[in-house]
């Protein structure tokens, strides 16, 4: 939940359409919508509606008409491929009362891409169709170009449904055009990350920093696998944001492990580095390898102990053999009990110190429970700093 | 892509609404919509539209009105909590022109749930509000009851947004009501799973089984991390489905590793069991622990070798020490190259046989690349069966 959601003054109102029958059949999860929704929030666009639309001409053109009636901007992903059920171009042409014709430049580019006319399935020429008011947006990593349509009072942007193609087109080409067209200023934000306290405890300690933030600031609280985060945002004021972060740090003390892009693996491996360890291996039980997955995903940085790999044991006895590293972190997660929480025990051996068998409790179920156990272990490691001082 | 998508005769047309501003801010991914879309497809409901709606009274009531105008059934998740921005009840009341009043039974249940009136925040009584045409749907694992509204020509069902609460209410209570109300018959389907062939190669070998399936059958092809799947579905005819599966098995031969609920870990561990191994440990490099994650998620069954855990090595040298198991599977994934594919080497030691250093190629990027390397290794293990015969 977030306690205040400011809008930039005069923010354009947007509709987002995800086009494809696969989505309505539940065959794929529409991750594009969540990605673009987060991007739009940060850009200062007021996203009013998201709709998933099947590959039917009437449904697509009706969705475009509704989007145009509802606001200033319509974004759409999907339905730009070469097959007969890729109908986004046709649906928008119909909604705008314009006619599709083949664009000679686009047709030539497509033919080159396929290595000559004879090699390209003729259906691909669908991707060279354009309406008079549309400008093509190049797609360097796929065959479907996007469309940019500026109708004076309304703007539309069509992007491919393949997430990698969509994200590259969005970042490199659509965002800069939207910034210019709507004079957008990005939302500034900063995050304070805690581990070891529940969401309500963090909210209580943060007090009016969360419930009544300063003018021009918004504050939100988010329970994530890697702890409870406080996020402050503002449309204009960097210094107030920094002041809010400083105050949150003071109020939350040792339970803050970092801000912004700092992560638990990074701060834990840095604490180990300061404690004289050059490398870390891990032994885990009951976690399905969650600690290995989290540490593998971390990119090593100077001053941090290096992650050297680890062992997952499936038996209750700890028969794992730690690898050649000078620090070893051991995590045992108990099998799930009907207590509302699970027990985790964590131990660390390290050149200058370490600790035996700390018992912790974590909440959650499913994969979240496994990841929380791993993050709880890393949180214990990063706290050796304070103990050594 | 699927080459044919049959609809049950007279299938009810549905709209699905996911209500919550967090979704439109990109703060959470709407997994409920994908889950329900897949369920509806299998139940024989024709889902026409999915919409994400912010926590605004007007937007919610407009979305209900549009859903009622568009079809027979409107499903909604979210916005049933106790806070002032939980407005789904209010939005539907407004769309139907009915008045919310507090239901004495629901209020009493809520109070009991919280252990007495004094202990319950008064805002929770919002969850006891009802309109004359709504029947409450009990929520055994949360405080928000659902609503079932049958208006003769239209049905609406409101469910909580918390995925675990939604899924339990859906399965136990909404699905049975929908089956009775709309005389639904479930879609029957069967899946044939292959590994080792690309999507176009599977399509080519399957031929008209895929492009022109028998009357009453639909066929689709899906490229997944665990291989290319062929899925056959039918509204009525079990025997034709089984015949299609048999034909696919003959056409695809050894590259079929299983059908329906059979998985690569299960068939690999069963092949090891037949080869005399009682347990398997793993050594992997370059995969971020993908093999450990996949094998940890497998539930052991009789006749299969037991997964005993494993080692993730971060260095090029294989300094992992296999654990106490009588079979050891080793997987090395090369760092990603700009070749369009990655190289994987796989070796197996096992009591009766095994193999040295098989070199494979896999396609894909990101987490998919890691998982495909792990599945490619398990595919090599399950193939020891054929080699031994």
Q: How far is CA B26 from CA A172, A221, A234, A278, B20, in A?
A: 20, 15, 17, 39, 11
B123 with B83: CB under 8 angstroms? Answer: yes
Please indicate whether, in this complex, the C-beta atoms of A323 and B308 are within 8 angstroms of each other: no
A364 vs A45 pLDDT, higher one:
A45
Q: What pLDDT is stored for residue B358 in this prediction?
A: 95
Please indicate whether, in this complex, the C-beta atoms of B321 and A324 are within 8 angstroms of each other: no
> Chain A contacts of B50, Cβ < 8 Å?
23-24, 51-52
* Nearest beta carbon to residue A293 from set B37, B39, B293: B293
Q: How many C-beta atoms lie closer than 10 Å to residue A284's C-beta?
A: 27
Count the residues in chain B.
389
Confidence of residue A386 (pLDDT cuts 50, 70, 90): low
CA distance B195 to B208: 20
Name the token pair of B270: 């069963």
Per the listing, tokens 């790999």 go with A309
CA distance A245 to A262: 14
Please indicate whether, in this complex, the C-beta atoms of A35 and B47 are within 8 angstroms of each other: no
Confidence of residue B389 (pLDDT cuts 50, 70, 90): very low
Examine the pLDDT at A336 and tell me if it is beyond 80. no
Q: What pLDDT is stored for residue B381 in this prediction?
A: 97
User: What is the rounded average pLDDT for all residues in chain A?
Assistant: 90
Q: What is the dihedral of CA B213, B214, B215, B216, to 10 degrees?
A: -70
The shortest C-alpha distance from B16 to chain A (Å) reads: 9
* Nearest beta carbon to residue B41 from set A25, A33, A319: A25
The shortest C-alpha distance from A48 to chain B (Å) reads: 7
Model pLDDT for residues B80-116, shown as the tens digit of each residue: 988 888 999 999 999 999 999 999 999 998 888 877 7
> Chain B contacts of A292, Cβ < 8 Å?
288-289, 292, 312
Please indicate whether, in this complex, the C-beta atoms of A52 and B49 are within 8 angstroms of each other: yes
B116 with B79: CB under 8 angstroms? Answer: no
Best mutation target among A20, A50, A164, A167 (most B Cβ atoms within 10 Å) is: A50
Model pLDDT for residues A19-68, shown as the tens digit of each residue: 999 899 888 889 999 999 999 998 999 999 999 999 999 999 999 999 99
Name the token pair of A334: 């108990």
Please indicate whether, in this complex, the C-beta atoms of B309 and A309 are within 8 angstroms of each other: no
Please indicate whether, in this complex, the C-beta atoms of A33 and B30 are within 8 angstroms of each other: yes
Please give the residue of chain A at the shortest CA–CA distance from B37.
A26
Question: Residue ranges of the alpha helices (H) in chain B?
Answer: 21-24, 31-43, 57-70, 88-96, 104-113, 163-169, 175-182, 199-206, 208-211, 238-252, 264-274, 290-296, 366-382, 384-388
Please indicate whether, in this complex, the C-beta atoms of A29 and B26 are within 8 angstroms of each other: no
The shortest C-alpha distance from A158 to chain B (Å) reads: 18
Please give the residue of chain A at the shortest CA–CA distance from B308.
A314
The shortest C-alpha distance from A41 to chain B (Å) reads: 6
Q: Which residues contact A346 (CB under 8 A, 6 or more apart)?
A: A329, A330, A331, A355, A357, A358, A360, A376, A377, A380
Confidence of residue A322 (pLDDT cuts 50, 70, 90): low
Per the listing, tokens 């796989």 go with B346
Examine the pLDDT at A364 and tell me if it is beyond 80. no
> Chain B contacts of A40, Cβ < 8 Å?
26
Give the sheet arrangement for strand A327-333, strand by strand.
A353-362, A342-350, A327-333, A279-285, A306-313, B306-313, B279-285, B327-333, B342-350, B353-362
> Chain B contacts of A38, Cβ < 8 Å?
25-27
Examine the pLDDT at B117 and tell me if it is beyond 60. yes
CA distance B283 to B294: 13
Model pLDDT for residues A148-168, shown as the tens digit of each residue: 999 989 999 999 998 989 999
The shortest C-alpha distance from B293 to chain A (Å) reads: 6
Q: What pLDDT is stored for residue B322 in this prediction?
A: 59
Per the listing, tokens 């870390």 go with A280
Please give the residue of chain A at the shortest CA–CA distance from B58.
A48
Model pLDDT for residues B5-40, shown as the tens digit of each residue: 455 567 899 999 999 998 998 888 899 999 999 999
* Nearest beta carbon to residue B312 from set A21, A37, A309: A309
Supply the pTM of this predicted model: 0.81
> Chain A contacts of B164, Cβ < 8 Å?
365
Model pLDDT for residues A194-225, shown as the tens digit of each residue: 999 888 889 889 999 988 888 889 898 888 89
Mean pLDDT, residues B127-134 taken together: 95
CA distance A381 to A26: 41
Please indicate whether, in this complex, the C-beta atoms of B311 and A310 are within 8 angstroms of each other: yes
How far is C-alpha B104 from the chain's CA centre? 38
> Chain A contacts of B49, Cβ < 8 Å?
24, 51-54, 59
Please indicate whether, in this complex, the C-beta atoms of B297 and A288 are within 8 angstroms of each other: yes
Confidence of residue A2 (pLDDT cuts 50, 70, 90): very low
Q: Name the percent of chain B lying above pLDDT 90.
A: 67
Q: How many C-beta atoms lie closer than 10 Å to residue A346's C-beta?
A: 23
The shortest C-alpha distance from A53 to chain B (Å) reads: 6
> Chain B contacts of A14, Cβ < 8 Å?
none
> Chain A contacts of B310, Cβ < 8 Å?
311-312
Q: What pLDDT is stored for residue B1 in this prediction?
A: 39
Q: What pLDDT is stored for residue A3 in this prediction?
A: 37
The shortest C-alpha distance from B389 to chain A (Å) reads: 32
The shortest C-alpha distance from B50 to chain A (Å) reads: 5
Per the listing, tokens 């103990």 go with A387
């Amino acid at each position: 939940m977030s306690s205040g959601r400011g809008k930039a003054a005069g923010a354009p109102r947007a509709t987002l359409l995800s086009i494809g029958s696969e989505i309505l059949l539940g065959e794929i999860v529409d991750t594009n919508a969540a990605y673009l929704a987060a991007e739009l929030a940060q850009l200062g666009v007021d996203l009013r509606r998201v709709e998933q639309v099947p590959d039917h001409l009437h449904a697509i053109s009706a969705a475009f008409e509704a989007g145009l009636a509802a606001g200033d901007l319509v974004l759409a992903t999907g339905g730009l491929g070469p097959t007969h059920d890729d109908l986004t171009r046709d649906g928008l042409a119909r909604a705008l009362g314009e006619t599709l014709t083949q664009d000679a430049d686009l047709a030539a580019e497509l033919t080159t891409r396929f290595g000559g006319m004879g090699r390209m399935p003729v259906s691909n020429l669908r991707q060279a169709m354009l309406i008079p008011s549309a400008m093509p947006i190049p797609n360097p990593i796929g065959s479907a170009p996007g469309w940019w349509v500026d109708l004076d009072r309304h703007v539309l942007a069509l992007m491919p449904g393949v997430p990698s193609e969509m994200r590259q087109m969005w970042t490199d080409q659509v965002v800069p055009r939207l910034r210019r067209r709507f004079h957008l200023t990005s939302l500034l934000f900063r995050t304070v990350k805690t581990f070891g306290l529940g969401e309500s405890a963090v909210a209580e300690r943060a007090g009016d920093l969360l419930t009544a933030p300063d003018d021009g600031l918004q504050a939100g609280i988010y329970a994530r696998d890697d702890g409870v985060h406080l996020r402050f945002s503002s449309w204009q004021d960097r210094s107030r944001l920094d002041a809010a972060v400083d105050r949150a740090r003071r109020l939350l003390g040792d339970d803050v492990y970092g801000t912004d892009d700092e992560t638990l693996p990074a701060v834990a491996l840095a604490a180990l580095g300061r404690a004289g360890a050059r490398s870390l291996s891990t032994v885990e039980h009951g976690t399905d390898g969650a600690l290995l997955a989290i540490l593998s995903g971390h990119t090593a940085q100077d001053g941090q102990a290096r992650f050297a790999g680890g062992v997952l044991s499936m038996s209750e006895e700890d028969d794992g053999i730690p690898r050649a590293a000078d620090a070893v972190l051991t995590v045992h997660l108990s099998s799930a009990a009907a207590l509302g929480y699970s027990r985790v025990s964590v131990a660390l051996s390290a050149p200058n110190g370490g600790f035996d068998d700390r018992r912790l409790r974590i909440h959650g179920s499913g994969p979240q429970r496994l990841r929380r156990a791993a993050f709880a272990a890393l949180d214990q490691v990063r706290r050796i700093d304070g103990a050594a001082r």
